[in-house]
Amino acid sequence: MNFGRMVNKKIETENNIYEAGMKLFQEKGFTNTTMQDISERAGVAKSTIFNYFSSKEEIILRFGRNQVAQLKKFAQSLPPDMDTKAKILEVLQEDVGGVEKSKEIARISLVESYKSDWVYTLEAQNRVELASVYAQILCDGQKKGDIRDGLNCEHIAGLIVAIYFHALYTGMEVDTDINIKDYIIYSLEVLWNGVSCCEFFT
């Protein structure tokens, strides 16, 4: 087997394990799914799984990494001359749309990220990557004059990500009829326009 085919086989095996885990998490729940269950569904030895994922928590965390990777591609596909605020809103709505397609997996990922320091640290890396998507849009917007000079794009990006995850948590974990997209749009408006009738920054 040549090197290219070996690499493709490894990618195929990793994806197979990931997909098996995702299906089982939705069918049996995260807590009730074991690595043995995943190995049987994926058709690989249990020891093989550990060549790709150290735990089932790491499998679920790949969901977040995949979301961020897709968002980066989506953001890069938007027109360069698009209004900065509109571009941020497009990316946010794309992200929420992806979550809504896999709502149970997103809920599990969100819940598990708060159960241990190790999982939270890994999930925090995903959030940093997500913030970098918005920071790039904001920095580009600053160069175009859409955003005031002197504002910290990374800080604003962090606020956008905080709004996003607060909306997800509120919409998924609290007994409420909140519309996640509407909540995010409203929160972004507050962030963008501010809450004061006068200039806060001088």
Phi, psi angle pair for 132, to nearest 5°: -65, -30
pLDDT at res. 116: 74
Question: Selecting from 1.10.10.10, 1.10.357.10, 3.90.1260.10, 2.40.50.140, what CATH number does the domain 55-193 have?
Answer: 1.10.357.10
DSSP letter at 145 equals: T
Angle at 19 (CA atoms; ends 57, 66), nearest 5 degrees: 70
pLDDT at res. 196: 53
> Could you tell me the CA-to-CA distances from 41 to 55, 92, 183 in Å, in that order?
16, 34, 38
Is 91's pLDDT higher than 80? Answer: yes
pLDDT at res. 142: 92
The per-residue pLDDT for range 5-59, each reduced to its tens digit, is: 776 788 899 999 999 999 999 898 888 999 999 999 999 999 999 999 999 888 9
pLDDT at res. 174: 56
Angle at 39 (CA atoms; ends 33, 43), nearest 5 degrees: 135
Is 195's pLDDT higher than 80? Answer: no
- Give the HSE-up count for residue 33: Cα atoms under 13 Å, Cβ half-sphere: 21
pLDDT at res. 5: 72
Domain residue spans of the chain: 1-53, 55-193
With a pLDDT cut of 90, the percent of the chain lying above it is 44
Is 100's pLDDT higher than 90? Answer: no
Distance, CA of 156 to CA of 159 (rounded, Å): 5
Query: How is residue 85 written in tokens?
Result: 């605020």
Whether the Cβ atoms of residue 58 and residue 122 lie closer than 8 Å to each other: yes
Distance, CA of 25 to CA of 31 (rounded, Å): 8
Q: Which CATH superfamily is domain 1-53 in?
A: Homeodomain-like (1.10.10.60)
Whether the Cβ atoms of residue 125 and residue 76 lie closer than 8 Å to each other: no
